[in-house]
Amino acid sequence: IGDSCDDGDGLTENDTLQGDCSCAGTAVVTCDPIVWSIATVATNGDGDVWIDNFDGSYSANGYCGGGCAEPVDLWLVSNGFDYSAVTTSNLLFELVEDFAATTLDLQYTTSYAGDPAAATWTSLGTYDAAGSFSADLAALTGSSEVYLGLQYADDGADGYSGFTLSNIALTGDCPADVTVFECPTEMANFGDSCDDADATTFDDIILGDCTCAGTAFDCPTELANFGDACDDANAMTTSDIIQGDCSCAGTPFVLANDLIITAVFDGSLPGGTPKGVEVYVVNEITDLSVYGLASITNGQGSPGQEFTFPADPAAAGDFIYVTANDLDFDTFFGFGENYVTGVMGINGDDAIELYEQGTVIDVFGEIDNDGTGTAWEYQDGWAYRNCETGPDGSTFVEANWSFSGVNGLEGGTDNATAASPLPVGSYMTTCAAMGGCIDENASNYDMAAVIDDGSCEYLGCTDYLFVEYNPYALTDDGSCSVLVVLGCIYDSADNYDVSANVDDDSCIFSGNSCPGDFTGDGFINVSDLGGFLGAFGTECE
Domain ranges, ordered by start, for the chain: 36-172, 259-417
Phi, psi of 334 (to 5 degrees): 85, 10
Residues 6+ apart with CB under 8 A from 39: 75, 76, 77, 114, 115, 116
Whether residue 33 is preceded by a cis peptide bond, meaning omega within 30 degrees of 0, is no
For the CA atoms of 399, 401, 402, 405, the dihedral, rounded to the nearest 10 degrees, stands at -90
What per-residue confidence (pLDDT) applies to 376? 97
36-172 has which CATH code?
2.60.120.260
Predicted pLDDT at 538 = 55
Q: What is the pLDDT of residue 481?
A: 94
Which pLDDT score is estimated for 99?
Answer: 86
Q: Answer yes or no: is pLDDT of 289 > 70.
A: yes
**Letter for the amino acid at 485?**
V
Residue 527's identity, in one-letter code, is S
**How many Å apart are CA 389 and CA 261, to the nearest integer?**
10
Query: What's the CA dihedral at 196, 201, 205, 210 to 10 degrees?
Result: -40
At 380 the pLDDT is 97
Interatomic CA distance for residues 187 and 256, integer angstroms: 56
Q: Under DSSP, is residue 140 helix (H, G, I), strand (E, B) or coil?
A: helix
pLDDT recorded at residue 187: 82
pLDDT value at position 533?
59
Beta-sheet strands, E only, within 343-482: 351-356, 359-364, 382-385, 401-403, 435-436, 451-452, 459-460, 475-476
| pLDDT band at residue 1 under the 50/70/90 scheme | confident
Interval 363-418: pLDDT, tens = 999 999 999 999 999 999 999 999 999 999 999 999 999 999 999 999 999 999 99
Q: What is the band of 514 on the pLDDT scale with cuts at 50, 70, 90?
A: low
Count of other CB atoms within 10 angstroms of residue 149: 22
Binning pLDDT at 50, 70 and 90, where does residue 531 land? low
Per residue in 128-157, pLDDT (tens digit) is 999 999 999 999 999 999 999 999 999 988
Answer whether residue 288 shows pLDDT above 70.
yes
- Residue 539, pLDDT > 60, answer no
The amino acid occupying position 284 is E
> 245-280 pLDDT, tens per residue?
999 999 887 788 999 999 999 999 999 999 999 999
Q: Are strands 51-52 and 36-42 parallel, antiparallel or unpaired?
A: unpaired
Per-residue pLDDT at 534 exceeds 80: no
56-105 pLDDT, tens digit per residue, is 999 999 998 888 899 999 999 999 999 999 999 999 999 999 888 899 99
